[in-house]
Amino acid sequence: MTTIFERVTTALNTLSPAIPFALGVYKTTSALPATFIAYQLIDGTPEQHADNAETERAYLVQVSIYARAGLVSLPDVDTAMLAAGFQKGPERQLPEADTGHFGLAKDYVYL
Protein backbone atom coordinates (compact mmCIF):
# COMPACT_ATOMS: atom_id res chain seq x y z
CA MET A 1 0.00 0.00 0.00
CA THR A 2 1.25 3.45 -0.92
CA THR A 3 1.42 5.98 1.92
CA ILE A 4 0.23 9.56 1.61
CA PHE A 5 3.87 10.67 1.90
CA GLU A 6 4.85 8.53 -1.09
CA ARG A 7 1.96 9.97 -3.09
CA VAL A 8 3.02 13.57 -2.39
CA THR A 9 6.69 12.79 -3.11
CA THR A 10 5.78 11.16 -6.42
CA ALA A 11 3.66 14.18 -7.41
CA LEU A 12 6.29 16.77 -6.45
CA ASN A 13 9.03 14.82 -8.25
CA THR A 14 7.26 15.65 -11.53
CA LEU A 15 7.92 19.39 -11.20
CA SER A 16 10.30 20.55 -13.88
CA PRO A 17 12.88 21.83 -13.65
CA ALA A 18 13.48 19.99 -10.40
CA ILE A 19 12.28 22.08 -7.47
CA PRO A 20 13.82 20.99 -4.16
CA PHE A 21 11.29 19.89 -1.56
CA ALA A 22 11.15 18.30 1.87
CA LEU A 23 8.71 16.82 4.33
CA GLY A 24 8.24 19.26 7.20
CA VAL A 25 10.88 21.97 7.39
CA TYR A 26 13.28 22.39 4.47
CA LYS A 27 16.75 22.11 6.00
CA THR A 28 20.10 22.61 4.35
CA THR A 29 23.69 23.21 5.45
CA SER A 30 24.18 25.74 2.66
CA ALA A 31 22.12 28.75 1.58
CA LEU A 32 18.44 28.12 0.88
CA PRO A 33 17.55 27.85 -2.82
CA ALA A 34 15.66 30.74 -4.44
CA THR A 35 12.54 28.53 -4.67
CA PHE A 36 11.71 25.46 -2.60
CA ILE A 37 8.74 23.51 -1.28
CA ALA A 38 7.92 22.06 2.14
CA TYR A 39 4.92 19.81 2.74
CA GLN A 40 3.21 18.27 5.73
CA LEU A 41 0.26 16.10 6.60
CA ILE A 42 -2.29 18.23 8.44
CA ASP A 43 -4.98 15.63 9.06
CA GLY A 44 -6.05 12.10 8.22
CA THR A 45 -9.75 11.66 8.87
CA PRO A 46 -11.74 8.42 8.56
CA GLU A 47 -14.56 8.96 6.08
CA GLN A 48 -16.28 5.57 5.84
CA HIS A 49 -16.57 2.36 7.84
CA ALA A 50 -18.06 -1.04 7.03
CA ASP A 51 -18.13 -4.22 9.13
CA ASN A 52 -16.32 -2.45 11.97
CA ALA A 53 -13.39 -1.51 9.73
CA GLU A 54 -12.29 1.74 8.12
CA THR A 55 -12.78 1.63 4.35
CA GLU A 56 -11.97 5.24 3.37
CA ARG A 57 -9.78 7.99 4.79
CA ALA A 58 -9.31 11.59 3.66
CA TYR A 59 -5.84 13.09 3.96
CA LEU A 60 -5.34 16.85 4.13
CA VAL A 61 -1.85 17.82 2.96
CA GLN A 62 -0.40 21.34 3.00
CA VAL A 63 2.17 22.15 0.32
CA SER A 64 4.02 25.41 0.99
CA ILE A 65 5.94 27.08 -1.83
CA TYR A 66 8.64 29.60 -0.91
CA ALA A 67 10.25 31.99 -3.38
CA ARG A 68 12.56 34.97 -2.98
CA ALA A 69 11.24 36.56 -6.20
CA GLY A 70 7.67 36.80 -4.87
CA LEU A 71 4.50 34.86 -5.59
CA VAL A 72 3.89 35.74 -9.25
CA SER A 73 5.83 32.98 -11.02
CA LEU A 74 5.62 29.82 -8.90
CA PRO A 75 6.07 26.15 -9.86
CA ASP A 76 2.84 24.53 -11.09
CA VAL A 77 2.11 22.47 -8.00
CA ASP A 78 -1.61 22.31 -8.80
CA THR A 79 -1.10 20.32 -12.00
CA ALA A 80 1.29 17.90 -10.29
CA MET A 81 -1.00 17.27 -7.32
CA LEU A 82 -4.22 17.01 -9.36
CA ALA A 83 -2.57 14.52 -11.73
CA ALA A 84 -1.68 12.41 -8.67
CA GLY A 85 -5.34 12.22 -7.62
CA PHE A 86 -5.51 15.06 -5.09
CA GLN A 87 -8.33 17.59 -4.95
CA LYS A 88 -7.51 21.26 -4.58
CA GLY A 89 -8.47 23.03 -1.36
CA PRO A 90 -7.93 26.48 0.15
CA GLU A 91 -4.70 28.44 -0.16
CA ARG A 92 -3.26 31.31 1.82
CA GLN A 93 -0.26 33.59 1.81
CA LEU A 94 2.34 32.98 4.52
CA PRO A 95 4.22 35.74 6.32
CA GLU A 96 7.52 36.71 4.72
CA ALA A 97 10.30 34.62 6.26
CA ASP A 98 13.48 35.98 7.84
CA THR A 99 15.26 34.47 4.85
CA GLY A 100 13.54 36.89 2.45
CA HIS A 101 11.30 34.19 0.96
CA PHE A 102 7.63 34.81 0.29
CA GLY A 103 5.34 31.86 0.94
CA LEU A 104 2.09 30.41 -0.32
CA ALA A 105 0.43 27.46 1.44
CA LYS A 106 -1.87 25.27 -0.68
CA ASP A 107 -4.13 22.56 0.75
CA TYR A 108 -4.89 19.32 -1.09
CA VAL A 109 -7.16 16.43 -0.11
CA TYR A 110 -6.65 12.79 -1.09
CA LEU A 111 -9.43 10.27 -0.44
pLDDT digits (tens, 9 = 90+) for 12-32: 999 978 899 999 999 988 999
Average of per-residue pLDDT across 52-61: 94
- CATH number at 54 reads 3.30.2000.10
pLDDT digits (tens, 9 = 90+) for 71-111: 999 999 999 999 999 999 999 999 987 899 999 999 999 99
Domain span at residue 81 reads: 4-110
Give me the number of domains the chain comprises: 1
CB atoms within 10 A of CB 101: 21
Cβ neighbours of residue 74 under 8 Å, at least 6 residues apart?
Answer: 35, 65, 67, 104
